[in-house]
Amino acid sequence: MFRILQQPYPLYESKRARWRMSLLFGLFVFLFLWLFEPVGFNEIPENKMWHALGYGLVCSCTMLLINVVAVPLFPHFFKEQSWTTGRQIAMTMLNIGLIGLANALYTMFAFNQPFRLSSLLYFEAITLGIGILPVAVSYVLNQLLLERRYQQGSGNLNAQMEQQKLLPQKPTQATVSTPLLLEGENQNEQLRVHAHELRYLQAADNYVEVYWMATDGLQKALLRGSMRAFAAQLASQPSFFRCHKSFLVNRQHIQHISGNAQGYKLKLDGVEVLIPVSRSLNADLKELFG
> How many domains does the chain fold into?
2
Residue 141 is assigned to a structural domain of this protein: yes
Query: How would you label 254-273 residue by residue, b for 16+ Cβ within 10 Å and e otherwise?
Result: beebebbbbbbbbebeebee
User: In this structure, is residue 162 part of a structural domain?
Assistant: no
pLDDT at site 76: 87
Average pLDDT, the chain: 91
Looking at the fold, whether 141 and 239 belong to one and the same domain comes out as no
Q: How large is the average pLDDT for residues 49-62?
A: 94
| Nearest residue to 256 (alpha-carbon basis) of 168, 161, 163, 164 | 161
The answer to whether position 163 is within a domain reads no
Domain that includes residue 21, residue range? 2-151
- pTM of structure: 0.84
Residue 211 and residue 199 in contact, taking contact as beta carbons nearer than 8 Å: yes
Q: Are residues 197 and 284 located together in one domain of the fold?
A: yes
- Going by C-alpha positions, the residue among 279, 263, 9 that lies closest to residue 140 is 9
In a domain, 9, yes or no: yes
pLDDT tens digits, one per residue of 28-43: 999 999 999 887 788 8
pLDDT digit string (tens) for 128-143? Answer: 887 889 999 999 999 9
- Which residues lie below 8 Å from residue 269, measured CB to CB, with a gap of 6+? 199, 213, 253, 254, 255
Q: Does the residue 218 lie in any domain?
A: yes
Same domain for 70 and 180, yes or no, is no
Residue 169, pLDDT > 90, answer no
Residue 46 near residue 37 (C-beta atoms within 8 A): no
